[in-house]
């Protein structure tokens, strides 16, 4: 025109797209955002936006894993000012990858695609070291003879307990180390004899407690003529000594004193008896180490 012209240029901040992808699918699937959140494989994201403006927007991603999982990685990719691939550097990120939390970052002048990946947690299974099982029982956790194993959430764990000769299983407990509560344990048909105890792994490390006790074996006595058996033990376990006292009647003496049992192979065997004194005309107390078997005591007088 035949006059001065004034040109006014107005700039507006550009909105760049922000996408979210499921790192646990193959190929990666783009998440559908609804109400600022989305469910992914093994977790979810909250408080997310789908657009942002360069250096004005400070977006956040709240990442929460499912039970039994933790955050493996949250990676944001974009194209920088010179057209090269670049990775988002987070301003803040959660310190607890199991509980999850918030990631924040500065919006670049580019579209951004985030890939969120979760991974299963291997929780520790520890055999309680405060319980002495040496010589009392053999314990296999997941088929391994050791004090530490591990398992993923909700998997079935087998604890095989084999009591040694002279011992029996009282109980097998599994303690959730996070809550301190008992985990439900499925017992074999006969707990005392041991076998496979199973439980579903919680989303926590656990401590296995195997409670073992000595078996009490019966002691039987004959009823002899011309004397008595007194002060006799009726039950003992094989960690203890047992005793009885043989007393001849007036005019009689101790003839034979025997204590027999069956060994672990089913063969008859005799126990070694220790007499309190050597005069067979007097009351004598006999002691012996209790075997892992019932015992039959036989005393005769003459």
Nearest to 164 by CA among 239, 235, 236: 239
Task: Tell me which residue has tokens 């959430």.
Answer: 153
Q: Are 242 and 271 in contact (CB under 8 A)?
A: no
Per-residue pLDDT band at 55 (split at 50, 70, 90): confident
The CA-CA-CA angle for residues 236, 239, 245, to 5°, reads 45
Residue-wise DSSP of 96-118: -TTT-EEEE-PPPSS-EEEEEEE
Q: Are 227 and 254 in contact (CB under 8 A)?
A: yes
Whether residue 146 has pLDDT greater than 90: no
Residue-wise DSSP of 155-212: -EEEEEEEEPTTEEEEEEEEEETTT-PEEP-BPPS-STT-EEEEEE--SS-EEEEEEE
Query: Which neighbouring-strand residues pair with 268?
Result: 262
Structure tokens of 77? 């990719």
User: What's the pLDDT at 1?
Assistant: 80
Give 1-44 pLDDT, tens digit per residue: 888 999 988 887 889 999 999 999 999 999 999 999 999 999 99
Environment class of 179 (CB within 10 Å of its CB; exposed 0-12, middle 13-18, buried 19+): exposed
The reply to whether the predicted model has a pTM over 0.85 is no
């Amino acid at each position: 025109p035949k006059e001065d012209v004034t040109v006014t240029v107005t700039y507006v901040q550009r909105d760049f797209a922000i996408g979210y992808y499921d790192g646990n699918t193959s190929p990666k699937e783009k998440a559908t955002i609804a109400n600022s959140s989305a469910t992914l494989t093994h977790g979810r994201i909250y408080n997310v936006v789908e657009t942002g403006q360069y250096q004005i927007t400070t977006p956040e991603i709240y990442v929460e894993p499912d039970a039994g999982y933790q955050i493996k990685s949250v990676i944001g990719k974009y194209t920088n000012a010179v057209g090269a691939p670049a990775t988002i550097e987070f301003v803040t990120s959660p310190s607890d990858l199991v509980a999850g939390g918030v990631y924040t970052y500065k919006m670049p002048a580019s579209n951004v695609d985030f890939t969120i990946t979760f991974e299963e947690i291997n929780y520790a299974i520890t055999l309680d070291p405060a319980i002495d099982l040496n010589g009392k029982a053999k314990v296999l956790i997941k088929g391994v003879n050791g004090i530490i194993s591990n398992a993923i959430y909700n998997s079935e764990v087998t604890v095989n307990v084999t009591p040694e000769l002279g011992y029996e299983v009282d109980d097998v407990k599994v303690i959730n180390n996070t809550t301190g509560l008992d985990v439900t344990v499925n017992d074999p048909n006969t707990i005392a004899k041991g076998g496979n105890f199973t439980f579903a792994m919680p989303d926590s490390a656990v401590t296995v407690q195997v409670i073992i006790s000595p078996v009490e074996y019966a002691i039987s006595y004959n009823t002899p003529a011309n004397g008595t058996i007194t002060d006799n033990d009726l039950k003992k376990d094989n960690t203890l000594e047992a005793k009885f006292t043989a007393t001849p009647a007036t005019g009689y003496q101790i003839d034979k004193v025997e204590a027999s049992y069956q060994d672990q192979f089913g063969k008859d065997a005799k126990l070694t008896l220790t007499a309190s004194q050597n005069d067979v005309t007097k009351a004598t107390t006999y002691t012996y180490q209790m075997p892992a078997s019932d015992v039959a005591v036989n005393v005769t007088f003459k």
